[in-house]
C-alpha cells in the first residue's frame, strides 16, 4: 500500500495537500512547531483516510491546508556513496530516481550490489573515486558521526586536509557542484560534542551556498515492524529542503501498557542491565552484531509465550528489502555475514518516502515556525537554514503512518528459539539490574528457560 499524505491520499497525488496535526489544543504541545499560514483552514480528515489506516490512529486527527499547489518534479540522477546493500538507492529507485554510480568498500555488500543493481557502475573506495558521472543531481550517503567531531577538531572538511570520510563527500560535492545532497545518520549526531558536530556539517554546506533541513524519522512510520530512528539531512541549491522533509506530521502511536499475550514484543537479549530495547508489536533497532562480529538479532516474545529470534529473511523485510536480498553475500563469506549487512542498512521504505517527496514536495514544510538554534547545545528533532539563519523545532518522528499486520502475523519465516545459553545470560544480567521490566515479562522468559532446558536434556 502506498504511503499516504495527510489527507490519506497517495504521495504524489495532484490533489490537495494537508498536514497531520494532533487534535489536542495548541497549548498542549508547547513547544511543538507551528505551520505559519496567513490563511489557515482546518478540518477533520479522518473520514477521508483509507479504512486500513484509520484503526492505527487512536486519536482524532486534524489537518492544515497549504496555501499553494505542489508542482511535480522530474526524477533525479543519483550517486550513492557508502551504499551498503542499497537501501537508499532501492528506496529512491522505487520513486523513479536512477542510480548512476555506487560506491561501497565492503566485499559482502559489493556482492549484493552487483546482483541487485546490475549494470550500475560500482566503485570500491570513496577515497579513490576521482569523479562522478556527468549529470549527477543527487549525492547520497551516510558516514560515522564521529567523523564530524574529528573534522571539527582538525583542519575541517572544506580545506582539503581530509582525515575522515565526510571530507570525501564534500570533495566530490565541491568538484561537481552537485545541486542536492542527501545524508543519513544516527540521532546521536545531534548531541555529539554538545551539538558542535552538527554545526560543523551545517557550516560546510552554508559556505557552499546550500539551504538545508533535517529531521529525525522512525522507520515504523512506513509499515515495517522495527523501531529505528535516523536523522535525514537534505541540502539543496535547487529546492526548499523543508518542503521535502518537514511538510507532514502524524502523532506517534501510543502502545498498550500491558501487551504481553496480545502482541509480539521485541527486546535485546544481549542487554538487561542498563537497557532492554523494549518494543511493542515491533523489534528494536536491528544492529550489525557484536564488537567481535557475532550476529545478535533481537529476540521476540510471541503472544503464545514463545521466545524466538527472527529469520534473516524477515530481518531483511524489517528493513524494507525483499526476503533473500542479501543472499549474494554468502557467495563471498559465511551466511552469518548477512546479519551485519542488514543491521548496518537503512530502511528502504523511508527513502521511498523521501524519493516521492523530492518529486512532490509539500509547501507547508516551509511554513514551520521554529526557534533559533544556539551554539553549544543539542539540536532538536528537526531543523533548517534556508537563508534566514538556523532554526529548529520538535516534530514527531512519524511524518506519515502506514498500516501493517501485527508483528506475530507479519513474520513469514519460522524463528529460532532463543538459546539456553542466551536466555541464561539475559536472566542473570536482570538480577543485577535496577530496570523496571514489563509486567509478566521475566516470568515468560523463565518459562522459556525451562522449556529449552528440558529440550536440551531431551
- pLDDT, tens digit, 9 for 90 and up, residues 11-40: 333 333 323 333 333 333 333 334 443 322
Low-confidence ranges of the chain (pLDDT < 50): 1-69, 152, 154-156, 159-163
Residue 146: per-residue pLDDT: 59
Assess whether the previous peptide bond of 31 is cis (omega < 30° from 0).
yes
Residue 120 C-alpha from the chain's centroid: 24
- In this structure, what C-alpha cell is assigned to residue 101? 554510480
Q: What percent of the chain has pLDDT over 70?
A: 79
pTM: 0.84
Q: Please, what are the domains in the chain?
A: 77-252+346-393 (3.40.50.150), 265-344+406-457 (no CATH)
Residue 51: per-residue pLDDT: 38
Residue 145: per-residue pLDDT: 60
Residue 293: per-residue pLDDT: 59
Residue 157: per-residue pLDDT: 53
Residue 192: per-residue pLDDT: 81
pLDDT in tens, 190-206: 988 788 888 889 999 99
User: In Å, what is the CA distance from 417 to each residue of 297, 422, 441?
Assistant: 12, 10, 16
- In this structure, what C-alpha cell is assigned to residue 163? 582525515
Which residues carry out catalysis?
Answer: 145
| CA neighbours closer than 13 Å in the CB half-sphere of residue 287 | 18
Residue 67: per-residue pLDDT: 36
- In this structure, what C-alpha cell is assigned to residue 108? 559482502
Amino acid at each position: 500500500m502506498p504511503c499516504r499524505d495527510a489527507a490519506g491520499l497517495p504521495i504524489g497525488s495532484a490533489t490537495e495537500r494537508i498536514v497531520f496535526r494532533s487534535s489536542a489544543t495548541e497549548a498542549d504541545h508547547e513547544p511543538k512547531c507551528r505551520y505559519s499560514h496567513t490563511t489557515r483552514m482546518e478540518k477533520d480528515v479522518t473520514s477521508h483516510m483509507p479504512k486500513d489506516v484509520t484503526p492505527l490512529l487512536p486519536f482524532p486527527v486534524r489537518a492544515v491546508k497549504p496555501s499553494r499547489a505542489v508542482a511535480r518534479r522530474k526524477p533525479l540522477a543519483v550517486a550513492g556513496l557508502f551504499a551498503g546493500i542499497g537501501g537508499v538507492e532501492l528506496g529512491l529507485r522505487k520513486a523513479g530516481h536512477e542510480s548512476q554510480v555506487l560506491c561501497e568498500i565492503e566485499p559482502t555488500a559489493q556482492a549484493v550490489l552487483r546482483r541487485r543493481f546490475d549494470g550500475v557502475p560500482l566503485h570500491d573506495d570513496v577515497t579513490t573515486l576521482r569523479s562522478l558521472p556527468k549529470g549527477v543531481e543527487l549525492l547520497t550517503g551516510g558516514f560515522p558521526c564521529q567523523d564530524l567531531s574529528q573534522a571539527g577538531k582538525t583542519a575541517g572538511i572544506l580545506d582539503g586536509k581530509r582525515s575522515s570520510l565526510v571530507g570525501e563527500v564534500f570533495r566530490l560535492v565541491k568538484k561537481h557542484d552537485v545541486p542536492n545532497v542527501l545524508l543519513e545518520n544516527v540521532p546521536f549526531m545531534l548531541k555529539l560534542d554538545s551539538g558542535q558536530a552538527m554545526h560543523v556539517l551545517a557550516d560546510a554546506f552554508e559556505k557552499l551556498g546550500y539551504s538545508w533541513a533535517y529531521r529525525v524519522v522512525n522507520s515504523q512510520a512506513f509499515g515495517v515492524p522495527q523501531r529505528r530512528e535516523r536523522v535525514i539531512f537534505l541540502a539543496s541549491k535547487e529546492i526548499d529542503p523543508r518542503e521535502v522533509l518537514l511538510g507532514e506530521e502524524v502523532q506517534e502511536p501510543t502502545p498498550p501498557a500491558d501487551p504481553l499475550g496480545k502482541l509480539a514484543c521485541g527486546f535485546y537479549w544481549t542487554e538487561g542491565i542498563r537497557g532492554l530495547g523494549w518494543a511493542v508489536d515491533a523489534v528494536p533497532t536491528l544492529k550489525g552484531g557484536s564488537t567481535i562480529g557475532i550476529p545478535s538479532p533481537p529476540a521476540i516474545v510471541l503472544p503464545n509465550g514463545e521466545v524466538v529470534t527472527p529469520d534473516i529473511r524477515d530481518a531483511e523485510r524489517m528493513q524494507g528489502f525483499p526476503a533473500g536480498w542479501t543472499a549474494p553475500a554468502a557467495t563471498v563469506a559465511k551466511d552469518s555475514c548477512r546479519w551485519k549487512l542488514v543491521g548496518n542498512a537503512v530502511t528502504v521504505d523511508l527513502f521511498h518516502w523521501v524519493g516521492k517527496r523530492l518529486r512532490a514536495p509539500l509547501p507547508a514544510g516551509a511554513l514551520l515556525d521554529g526557534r533559533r538554534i544556539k551554539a553549544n547545545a543539542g539540536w532538536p528533532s528537526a531543523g533548517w537554514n534556508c537563508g534566514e539563519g538556523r532554526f529548529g523545532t520538535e516534530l514527531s518522528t512519524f511524518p506519515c503512518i502506514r498500516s501493517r499486520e501485527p508483528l506475530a502475523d507479519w513474520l513469514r519465516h519460522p524463528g529460532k528459539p532463543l538459546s539456553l545459553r542466551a536466555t541464561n545470560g539475559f536472566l542473570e544480567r536482570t538480577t543485577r539490574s535496577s530496570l523496571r521490566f514489563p509486567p509478566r515479562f521475566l516470568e515468560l522468559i523463565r518459562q522459556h528457560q525451562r522449556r529449552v532446558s528440558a529440550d536440551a536434556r531431551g
